[in-house]
Amino acid sequence: MVWSNILYFILFFVFVLSPFDIFLNFNVFGFSFRLVSVFMFLFIVIASFILFRNRDKLILPLWFIFLVIACFLNSIFVFNSILIVRGISYAIWFWFFVIFVFVLVNVGRILDFGLVLKGYILSFVLHALFGLLQQALYYVWGIAFFVTQFGRMNGFTYEPSYFVTYLSSGFVLTLFCAMFLGKSSFKDNWFFYLSLSIIALALVFSTSKFLIIILVLSTLLVFTFFVVWVRKFKAFFKTFFSNLFVSLLSFVLVFGFYSFIIFYLPKITSVEVSLVSKIKEIEAEKESVSFGPRVKEFLNTLEVAFKNPIIGTSLGGVAPHKAVNQGVIPKSNQDVKPFEGISIYAEMLAGLGIFGFFIMVLFFLKFFWDGFRQIGVFLDKGYLEGFSILGGLVFGLFVELVLLVFNQNFLRFYLWTHIGILAMFLENSKRSYKF
């Protein structure tokens, strides 16, 4: 019990710290060292100790084998990374995430997933609240608090689009929990209603065009799940619309309160900038500032892939090769920071080569296939809790992967944290979880 409580505590810090880019992120010889690494390492060590002590049979899914093969290939290709030290560090980083996922899967047998789930959702709520606070401070008092683009919330990430990408998986997960968990009263579901409203509020006021993608995909997914479940359990019809009504009511209330802060209070404090003018500015600049550079960097990363089709550059070698292709001879890790890959798919293709990229595709296909198959099992058994939670986790990952087509890079802490939590629930889903 004591060790389990320690794991809950450490895991919650992993959740909270996973998207930190501009705070608690230290430069060590040109490499970024995030505090979340310490908590993730502690979790791996303590959880491994518990697993060794219990001597339980380890869970080793097929999708994990694919992941290990891809990680192994990345390690082999380090020699082609130009900056060998960078290649090695990225290879270690990749192995670190793979081990974290494996440990989460196996330690899931001794953890109450209900607590893990609520802690995970709470971490998204805290970041959404911080983003809203950032925006309110700027437009009400003119205070730029950890902002990277004036007037736009970015939380602790590098930029607003990264912040929205991070929140996307949490939004979809919370949406599914609020809509489908099917609890009988507001008392049982208030946490999910309120969490959904706060995360949705941050997305709406984020001024990011990614919001459109998130809303369209989320609406389609929820509607599909609703149709599938109601066709088999017609009694759920009333529960769903009750959950929908309360969720919308909760959102309207928090939207109204925040709108008062963001639109009315600036008139009292006499701050000259406004959110409306900022949105117009973003719309006017969207082609030159956002989409164009992303496409250019995507194509530059593909160029690296075309020049290294079989033997990849390793994930750590993508940026150095991009630099060389653009006439820059990198001598240190700091020199290649401006050349980081923008699309995780182009990055995987360049870093892992065609064969390694194919292995990663097999990993994701098998991972999602296992998820869909287990969702079907929950449907057949009428297990609405498992159906909603696993659906939220699976489609939360799906939406995030869609947004990563033109965003971030593959070795992101929050991406692998979500993969780990999904794997944890998926592989231990035969156990009865209580909420």
Could you say which DSSP state residue 197 is in?
Answer: H
Closest CA to 196 of 166, 175, 219, 226: 175
Helix intervals (H) in 235-311? 236-259, 265-269, 275-286, 292-307
Structural domain includes residue 354:
yes
Q: What is the pLDDT of residue 290?
A: 60
- The secondary structure element, H or E, covering residue 31 is strand 31-34
* Angle, helix 236-259 to helix 186-204, in steps of 10 degrees: 50
User: Which residue in this structure is represented by tokens 């296909």?
Assistant: 365
Coil, strand or helix at 32: strand
d(CA 44, CA 47): 5
CA 272 to chain centre: 35
User: Which residue in this structure is represented by tokens 């769903």?
Assistant: 240
d(CA 387, CA 238): 18
pLDDT band at 359 (very low <50, low <70, confident <90, very high): very high
CA 229 to chain centre: 27
Q: What is the pLDDT of residue 271?
A: 58
d(CA 291, CA 311): 30
pLDDT tens, position by position, 379-433: 888 888 888 899 999 999 999 999 888 776 888 999 999 999 999 999 988 655 4
Q: Considering only 18-22, 31-35, 184-188, which range has the smallest mean pLDDT?
A: 184-188
Percent of the chain with pLDDT over 70: 89
Binning the chain into helix, strand and coil, the percentages to the nearest 5 are 75, 0, 20
Residue 284 vs residue 417, higher pLDDT: 417
Residue 271 vs residue 322, higher pLDDT: 322
Helix intervals (H) in 21-157? 35-54, 62-76, 84-107, 113-141
Structural domain includes residue 370:
yes
The stretch 225-239 carries a mean pLDDT of 76
Structural domain includes residue 366:
yes
**Segments forming the whole domain that contains residue 422:** 2-427
Structural domain includes residue 9:
yes
435: pLDDT strictly greater than 50:
no
Q: Considering only 158-172, 232-246, 287-301, 332-346, which range has the smallest mean pLDDT?
A: 287-301
Structural domain includes residue 434:
no
**Chain-wide mean pLDDT for the chain?**
85
Residue 217 vs residue 371, higher pLDDT: 371
Structural domain includes residue 433:
no
CB 350 within 8 A of CB 304: yes
Structure tokens at 321: 């090769």
Closest CA to 417 of 100, 76, 135: 100
Coil, strand or helix at 344: helix
Question: Considering its fold, how many domains does the chain have in total?
Answer: 1
Structural domain includes residue 129:
yes
d(CA 80, CA 351): 9
Q: Considering only 219-223, 282-286, 312-316, 345-349, which range has the smallest mean pLDDT?
A: 282-286
Coil, strand or helix at 28: strand
The amino acid occupying position 120 is Y
The stretch 80-89 carries a mean pLDDT of 90
313: pLDDT strictly greater than 70:
yes
366: pLDDT strictly greater than 50:
yes
CB 156 within 8 A of CB 23: yes
d(CA 189, CA 53): 37
pLDDT tens, position by position, 156-214: 888 888 899 999 999 999 999 998 875 554 456 889 999 999 999 999 988 777 778 88
Residue 34 vs residue 334, higher pLDDT: 34
d(CA 46, CA 179): 35
CB 58 within 8 A of CB 67: no
Q: Considering only 53-67, 241-255, 270-284, which range has the smallest mean pLDDT?
A: 270-284
Structure tokens at 183: 């609890």
pLDDT tens, position by position, 105-135: 999 888 989 899 999 999 999 999 999 999 8
Q: What is the pLDDT of residue 355?
A: 95
75: pLDDT strictly greater than 90:
yes
Structural domain includes residue 432:
no
Q: Is the pTM of this model over 0.85?
A: yes
Q: What is the pLDDT of residue 281?
A: 55
Task: Count the Cβ atoms, other than its own, within 10 Å of residue 206.
Answer: 24
The amino acid occupying position 329 is I
